[in-house]
Amino acid sequence: MPLNIKGFRIYPGFLDSLRQAAVVTDLRRVVALAPLLSPVTPGGRRMSVRMTSAGRLGWVTDRSGYRYQARHPGGQGWPAIPESVLAIWDELSGVRRAPDCCLVNYYGQGARMGMHQDKDEGDFDWPVVSVSLGDEALFRMGNPCRGGRTESLWLRSGDVVVMGGAARLAYHGIDRIRFGSSRLLPKGGRLNLTLRVVGHEKMPETP
């Protein structure tokens, strides 16, 4: 059965191989300025996905919690979101403001991402645009509450997903990748970009 969650739109093969390669070239500069990190969750577990960000704000996690912040943990500001990536947002997001954050997720062999909601942003009314590059990934989409039935689909290199409306707060995750299924990245693996409007930064909890 196809995914039929209001607000979930998939554009299979939206980026041709030339555009995929151009985005990867631009991401090499992002990763050179803001190296990929192996983040640790507030519960103390190291994530298997490596991450960095571009844009005004980047998403980070450590023992102090999940948040957006203006600097890479190394101290430098985040690099700008490449034009090749902003163009995808402009074509598909349906909104006229720029994203604040491009979260860059790298999945090496065996990496996965457990079911979660994206709710560290200040405003959930804006869409999220996700770009898949490299190896195929088994994506799982659930409901706005934990549990219930889920649906799975393979995301392939060049696919773009737009999450808006009810889908924006649905639980989702990546169960596994097919390491070596794409030749886009010479060393294999998968890159996923998520473009987000963060709005105002979430304030630390006041005791």
Dihedral (C-alpha) 8, 11, 13, 17: value to the nearest 10 degrees? -100
Beta strands 160-163 and 128-134, pairing class: antiparallel
Residue 121 within binding range of Fe ion, rule CB under 5 A:
no
- Segment lying near ligand MD3 (by CB under 6 A), choices 26-34, 67-75, 91-99, 167-175: 167-175
Residue numbers 134-163 binding ligand MD3 by CB under 6 A = 137, 161, 163
Q: Which of 105, 111, 126, 162 binds ligand MD3 (CB under 6 A)?
A: 105
Q: Of 21 and 150, which has the nearer Cβ to Fe ion?
A: 150
Closest approach of Fe ion to the CB of residue 130, in Å: 8
Residue 118 within binding range of Fe ion, rule CB under 5 A:
yes
Choose the one of ligand MD3, Fe ion, none that binds residue 193, judging by a C-beta under 5 to 8 angstroms depending on kind.
Answer: none
Q: Helix or strand or coil: residue 21?
A: helix
Q: CA separation (Å) from 54 to 7, 19, 150, 160?
A: 25, 19, 31, 18
Q: Please report the DSSP string for 35-101 in residue order.
A: --B--B-TTSPBPSSEEEEEES-EEEEETTEEEEESB-TTSSBPPPPPHHHHHHHHHHS--SS--SE
- Segment lying near Fe ion (by CB under 5 A), choices 43-51, 112-120, 137-145, 184-192: 112-120
Closest approach of ligand MD3 to the CB of residue 177, in Å: 9
C-alpha–C-alpha distance, residues 139 and 75, integer Å: 33
- Segment lying near ligand MD3 (by CB under 6 A), choices 15-23, 30-38, 170-178, 181-189: 170-178
Per-residue binder mask for ligand MD3 (CB under 6 A), 181-200, x = binder: -----------x-x------
C-alpha–C-alpha distance, residues 52 and 59, integer Å: 8
Closest approach of Fe ion to the CB of residue 118, in Å: 4
The angle formed by the CA atoms of residues 92, 96 and 98, to the nearest 5 degrees, is 85
Rule CB under 6 A: which residues touch ligand MD3? 103, 105, 113, 118, 128, 130, 137, 161, 163, 167-168, 170, 172, 174, 192, 194
The contact set with Fe ion (CB under 5 A) reads 118
